[in-house]
Structure 1
Amino acid sequence: MARPITNIKRIEFTKPEQNRIALHELEDSVADHKTALQSLLVLIQDLENSGVLEILHAALNSKEKIASIALEQILKPSVLNSVKNTMIAVGLVGKIDPDRIGALADAVVVGLQRGHESLESNKKVGVFELVKALRDPGVNRALAFVLGLLRGLGERL
């Protein structure tokens, strides 16, 4: 039977040897990623030439001041109201059936086209033409929609 190993020698490198190993690993990594590093250096030089690096450096040195100004602006009532309104609008859009929105959008596009055609014709609309239009199924359907919309709005207001 084999005897258990009781004496383990650990190889401990000195600080200069550790540095030499780390540099060798770094050289290998640089060689493996040569193209990416060259592109990164070109990008950094372009940022330096355009002054962006200087701006970033100044922004980092003034981060507390910038943060306080940003916070002050965000806490203004008008900004808070805008955020609240945006959240309400997103919630509203989320509640509406996409098929209905699509149909309504198509109807608005066609309605705008027909409206512009009517304006370009310069034809005057009289009372009798309004009464005649009420018999048109499309106009009647649109009026029924608008009346339903107004009733729904009135219930909630």
Structure 2
Amino acid sequence: MAKPIRQISRGVPNLKEEQDKAIDEILKALADNKEAVLSFIELTKELHEVSVFDSASSLLKQRNDVGVIAMQQINQPAVHNIIKSGFGLFKFLGAMQPAQLETLLQGVTLGLKRMSRTGEKGKKQSIWKMRIRLRSPEIRAAMTTMVDFLEGMGEAFLKNREDHK
């Protein structure tokens, strides 16, 4: 018959052996990733030369003061307006069909290009030439579009005025 186990001895790892094992693992990982480690060291050197670490360290040491200043700047009415306007812009863009937006932006781009060419030339146009140009299909389409745009804008203004009463 077998002898009963009465004493269990746990092997306590030696601290020196654990450290040696950890160092071996680190050296193996460094050797396996030599190029990445060298690139990281080069990057770190460049960041040190431009004092990024000094600036970051100073910023962290003064984090409470910096946080107070940042919160004061964020709490300005202008920043609130920017945030609200940004949400409004995203809502506006989300309401438009992509094809509509593309057409509108192409029209604005072409209009600005032509306007800048006219501004560069600096030529004045007579009223007679302007009258003749008003008959062109492009200008008639733009004028019709602008009148529809103004009508829609006026409708929104009137509705907004009624809602505030």
Q: TM-score range by the shorter chain?
A: 0.7 to 0.9
After TM superposition, give the deviation of residue 104 of structure 1 in Å. 2.4
- Can you give the 5+ residue segments of structure 2 that lack an aligned partner in the other structure? 158-165
| Two-structure CA RMSD over aligned residues (Å) | 2.9
Query: Taking structure 1 as reference, are residues 30 and 135 closer, same or farther at Cα in structure 2, changes over 3 Å only?
Result: closer
In 2, Cα distance between equivalents of 1:83 and 1:110: 30
1:82 aligns with 2:82: yes
1:58 matched residue in structure 2: 58
Give the match's secondary structure for 2:13: coil
In 1, Cα distance between equivalents of 2:125 and 2:154: 34
- Counterpart selection for 2:124 from 114, 117, 122: 122
1:18 matched residue in structure 2: 18
Specify the code of the residue in structure 2 equivalent to 1:152: G
In 1, Cα distance between equivalents of 2:135 and 2:34: 77
1:149 matched residue in structure 2: 149
Query: Taking structure 1 as reference, are residues 73 and 133 closer, same or farther at Cα in structure 2, changes over 3 Å only?
Result: same
Moved more, 105-114 or 69-78: 105-114
Aligned length: 151
Moved more, 40-49 or 73-82: 40-49
After TM superposition, give the deviation of residue 140 of structure 1 in Å. 2.8
1:29 matched residue in structure 2: 29
In 1, Cα distance between equivalents of 2:23 and 2:127: 87
